[in-house]
Chain A
Amino acid sequence: MPDLSVNLLGIELSNPIIPASGTFGYGREFAELYDIDILGTFSFKGTTLHPRLGNPLPRIAEAPSGMLNAVGLQNPGVDKVITEELPNLAKIFHKPVMANVSGFSIEEYAETCRRLDGCDQVGWLEVNISCPNVHHGGMSFGTDPMQAAAVTKAVKAVTTKPVIMKLSPNVTDIAAIARACEEAGADGISLINTLMGMRIDPRRRAPIIANTTGGLSGPAIFPVALRMVWQVYEAVSIPIVGMGGVSSAEDVIEMMLAGATAVEVGAANLADPWACPKIIEALPAAMEKYGIDRLKDIIGGAHHG
């Protein structure tokens, strides 16, 4: 029997598959389709201190082997998440959940994390310093090592939960940002968020997405994500959660060989709501094909010397 389990920052996962934030809501829609307890965990919808309505429509566009989105962090705000979504979640998911947090100031990040720190259901805080779809916030913290470090420090000061900093690929040197987070006390790094892109409607001679630009996700970005996970693995010694275009068990194995301890699956959930259960089901055969007995043994396994 192949062993799919991994340990992410002190918490045992039955397998490394984690639906990515923004593609899984707070779990409800998928719990109608399958038993979501089969997942390693999932990262819930990006949550901010205050409720956010998000961007105007259209927010979505097709892309070659992928999609663009500019949802703009629509969420009910952390207090409602704690009083409504988490109690709902307790009925359908019986594992620690990853809380994804966004903010518009360092104080906001810290306050949101402080409020979530008291929630037993939350296993990890995934701090998103990489949202490309909101102005004056999000990504600006993830493109400057000093800012990234400042957010990390502020969050670490208010929580005892493991803090995973989610990085933007829209930078020239992602390893430098990862190192800054590690030095500031981050427990882990997750990457990559979406790549900024756009599409134009030739009929209207205008951008398709109301926000003009959106974040590119899907298989199109997998090689970029893999390369960045590889680079960050060489730069830091804290665990990495890899993501970006992962759609199959083979992609998961590649991500782990590049250095990921666990793997998030994003856009694939939207094209196929059963993408995660299919990947989990396919993993044992893929492991057998490559002679892997224990999945955790291959983390970073493609780095030699």
Chain B
Amino acid sequence: MKQVTYTIHTNNPLTQDVYRMVLEGDTSAITAPGQFVNLTLDGLYLRRPISVCDWDADGLTLIYKVVGQGTDQLSQMRPGETLDALAGLGNGYDLAACPNDPVLVGGGVGVPPLYGLAKWLIRAGKSPSAILGFNRAEEIFFDMEFAALGIPVTVTTVDGTAGLRGFVTDAMPEDAYVCVCGPEPMLKAVHKLASGGQFSFEARMGCGFGACMGCTMPTVDGYKRVCKDGPVLGYGEIKW
């Protein structure tokens, strides 16, 4: 973990309430896809955890949905403004544990961290595929970016306005090894169908680095801190 001051390069909407923010600054603390940064916002006491979509030596991309005061404020920030962040938080996905052909399953704002993961898997010589689930056509984002990586991409929408009608589980092959990020009901449904994999959880956090016990959840191996021992938990650890 490292405290970094990032400069906003761009901050643009991808859909009505999902934004892409590109930040410039030190990314040396980020070591795995699925990790997150914890941002300080003016006038708010607690930092806001946002998963890293993608990063390189010069900066990183965050994709976030406006759901409350913090993300609303974030959406109004302009290029050139700075953000104080704790970077490189959480464990991230374990690449070594992935088989050759993992299925990346993302729902809504759970999609972004899987993009960085897809790039890593490809770089490691693996052949991932992606299933991206949204509610409706207007809410779809990043499907083209995934396709541009040259991997098979299936889009699902609940109302059938684009892609396959239904949930991500309707597009899932049987007994797949999955890398998942999305709302908890989706994680649970995917867990039921999969034979193994890694699941990224979300929680309201106090500190984001394992000190306050504000985000611990029960697992097969006892209580784990979503921020420090997670946010990615293994298939066999999860207790619903």
Contacts and interface: CB of A to CB of B under 8 A. Distances in A.
Interface of A: 22-25, 29-30, 32-33, 45, 53-54, 57-67, 69, 71, 74, 208, 218-219, 267, 269-271, 273-274
Contacts of A69: 206, 212, 214
A216 to B, nearest CB: 11
16 contacts: A22-B212, A29-B209, A54-B223, A57-B203, A59-B215, A60-B214, A61-B204, A62-B46, A63-B45, A69-B214, A71-B214, A74-B216, A219-B45, A271-B47, A273-B211, A274-B3
Closest 9 CB pairs of A and B: A270-B207, A60-B214, A58-B204, A29-B210, A60-B206, A29-B211, A74-B213, A60-B204, A71-B213
A27 B188 CA distance: 34
B40 interface: yes
Nearest to A53: B223
A116 to B, nearest CB: 20
Contacts of B16: none
Nearest to B69: A62
A67 B206 contact: yes
B96 interface: no
Contacts of A30: 211
Contacts of B206: 59-60, 67, 69, 270
Interface string B188-229: 000000000000000111110111111111100001000010
Contacts of A273: 1, 3, 86, 207, 209, 211
A271 B209 CA distance: 10
Contact of B45 (A23, A25, A66, A74): A66
Query: Which one of B205, B207, B210 has the greatest number of beta carbons of chain A within 10 Å?
Result: B207
Contacts of A61: 204
Contact of A25 (B1, B40, B210, B218): B210
Nearest to A28: B210
Contacts of A33: 1
A54 B210 contact: no
A56 B141 CA distance: 33
B57 interface: no
A70 to B, nearest CB: 9
Nearest to B67: A203
B148 interface: no
Contacts of B204: 57-61, 208
B44 interface: yes
Given A29-B228, A62-B69, A269-B207, A54 B213 contact: yes
A54 B44 CA distance: 26
Contacts of B46: 60, 62, 67, 270-271
Contacts of B1: 32-33, 273
A29 B90 CA distance: 12
Contacts of A67: 45-46, 206
Contacts of A60: 46, 204-206, 212, 214-215
B211 A24 contact: yes
A137 B57 CA distance: 51
Given A29-B228, A218-B45, A274-B3, A23 B211 contact: yes
Interface centre among A25, A53, A269 (most CB of B within 10 A): A25
A20 to B, nearest CB: 11
Contacts of B209: 29, 273
Contacts of A74: 213, 216, 223
A218 B1 CA distance: 23
Given A54-B216, A267-B45, A25 B205 contact: no
B44 A62 contact: yes
A28 to B, nearest CB: 8
Contacts of A267: 45
A57 B47 contact: no
Contacts of B3: 273-274
Nearest to B68: A62
Interface in B130-180: none
Given A29-B228, A60-B206, A273-B3, 10 more contacts: A22-B212, A58-B203, A58-B204, A65-B45, A71-B212, A71-B213, A74-B213, A267-B45, A270-B211, A271-B40
